[in-house]
Amino acid sequence: MSATATDRYPEPTGAPRALLPWASRAGAWRRAAGPHPLLLGALLACLLGGCAEEPLPQRRISRDDCLGEVSLDRLKEAIARCDTVVAAFPQDPQPLNERFLLHTLAEDDKAACRDIVRASELAQKRPAASLDPLLRDDLRRRLADCRSLVPSSPTGGAASSPGDPPAPALPSPAVQQLPHQNR
């Protein structure tokens, strides 16, 4: 003997069938089959819409970010990242000193010397005790390297005016020691 839908879901008593369409045989079959597909679709859309991925919070720029991840085959990207750091810390000589290294690796001595001249100017404006002694020594040595590259005038002075950054004619001694294919 097989059970019918009405055997499993008895019809309610006391209410007319017209007022309770879900209690009909077709309604009982739908309830036995599960929730309506549109209801499932709406529920699924709400769940997936609520799971939208939020962008990760951006890390704050640090003055030490210039030399964080340097690769010679991606040197332009490292210089661009360092440009951002220099812009974020315009009165700090350290990012300029680090960008000097990147420009030196990129064999752009003119840009490197421009950075070291600016970094030296910023360092001179600071009290001596507030600047790292290693940074002060780096700036002094690198500035001397850049000044040695400036072509001299016949009177023995520099060919450029004091406010102009030096225009090196030869690579710095530090660059000459690096193994480059173009040298």
Q: What is the mean pLDDT of residues 144-165?
A: 57
Work out the percent of the chain whose per-residue pLDDT is above 90. 38
Instruction: Give the pLDDT confidence of 83-103 residue by residue, as tens digits.
Output: 999 999 999 999 999 999 999
- Predicted confidence (pLDDT) at residue 4 exceeds the cutoff of 70: no
For residue 25, what pLDDT is reported?
Answer: 54
Residue 69, CB-side half-sphere exposure with 13 Å CA sphere: 4
Residues in a beta bridge with 158: 152
Per the model's pLDDT, the better-predicted residue between 178 and 183 turns out to be: 178
Instruction: Give the pLDDT confidence of 114-129 residue by residue, as tens digits.
Output: 999 999 999 999 998 8
Which of 74, 63, 160, 166 is closest to 112 using CA atoms?
Answer: 166
Which region among 25-39, 71-85, 156-170 has the lowest average model confidence (pLDDT)?
Answer: 156-170
Per the model's pLDDT, the better-predicted residue between 160 and 118 turns out to be: 118
Q: Is 50 helix (H, G, I), strand (E, B) or coil?
A: helix
Which region among 11-20, 32-41, 53-62 has the lowest average model confidence (pLDDT)?
Answer: 11-20
Per the model's pLDDT, the better-predicted residue between 171 and 139 turns out to be: 139
Which of 87, 68, 90 is closest to 77 using CA atoms?
Answer: 68
For residue 100, what pLDDT is reported?
Answer: 96
- Predicted confidence (pLDDT) at residue 77 exceeds the cutoff of 90: yes
Residue ranges and CATH numbers for the domains of the chain are 72-173 (1.25.40)
